[in-house]
């Protein structure tokens, strides 16, 4: 049981590194997925839904990256960065919850791991955007 817990902690760390690298794209992906689901449910078919999802994800990324690039007021830039980072934190929480669901028997420790993992991914995405490292438009 201890070996499984250590393996899950290592897997969570590796997945958080992956989430750290992909965190900037969490919001456009979620918006594209939602648009594709809506298009599919309204009868567009699989190919049409995929095209709608791809277009809306690219448009969302372009609009938010353009806003982040052109706005010079630090407070508004921080708000745009938070808009990018909030879905990354939710994705980090869900990622850690999925990995630790069966490996961590205690609900309290699972929630602690999930909150720490989600916070790490969200704050790292926010720091990357605010500091310009991994800036979506660069």
What H or E segment, with its residue span, contains residue 99?
helix 74-100
pLDDT at site 91: 83
**Highest mean pLDDT, choosing among 40-49, 69-78, 124-133:** 40-49
Q: What is the pLDDT of residue 36?
A: 95
Burial label for 73, CB within 10 Å (0-12, 13-18, 19+), is: exposed
4 phi, psi to nearest 5 deg: -65, -40
Per-residue model confidence (pLDDT) at position 65? 80
- State residue 16's pLDDT score: 67
**The predicted structure's pLDDT at residue 111:** 93
95 in any annotated domain: yes
73 located within any domain:
yes
Domain count, the chain: 1
- The answer to whether position 92 is within a domain reads yes
Question: What does the pLDDT read at residue 132?
Answer: 64
Query: Does a structural domain hold residue 39?
Result: no
Query: Does the pLDDT value for residue 135 go beyond 80?
Result: no
Cβ 27 vs Cβ 60: under 8 Å: yes
Asked if residue 40 is part of any domain, the answer here is no
134: tokens are: 């991994």
pLDDT in tens, 61-95: 888 888 878 888 888 888 888 888 888 888 889 88
- For the question of whether the overall pTM of this predicted structure is more than 0.85, the answer is no
Q: Is residue 45 one of the residues assigned to a domain?
A: no
Give residue 94's domain range: 2-26+60-131
């Amino acid at each position: 049981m201890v070996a499984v817990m250590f393996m899950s902690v290592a897997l969570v760390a590796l997945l958080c590194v992956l989430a750290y690298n992909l965190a900037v794209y969490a919001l456009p992906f979620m918006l594209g997925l939602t648009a594709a689901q809506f298009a599919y449910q309204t009868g567009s078919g699989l190919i049409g839904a995929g095209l709608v999802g791809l277009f809306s994800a690219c448009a969302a990324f372009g609009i938010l990256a353009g806003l982040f690039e052109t706005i010079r007021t630090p407070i508004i830039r921080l708000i745009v960065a938070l808009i990018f980072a909030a879905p990354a934190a939710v994705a980090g929480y869900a990622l850690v919850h999925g990995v630790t669901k069966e490996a961590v028997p205690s609900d309290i420790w699972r929630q602690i791991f999930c909150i720490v993992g989600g916070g790490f991914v969200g704050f790292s995405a926010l720091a990357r955007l605010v500091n310009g490292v991994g800036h979506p438009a660069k």
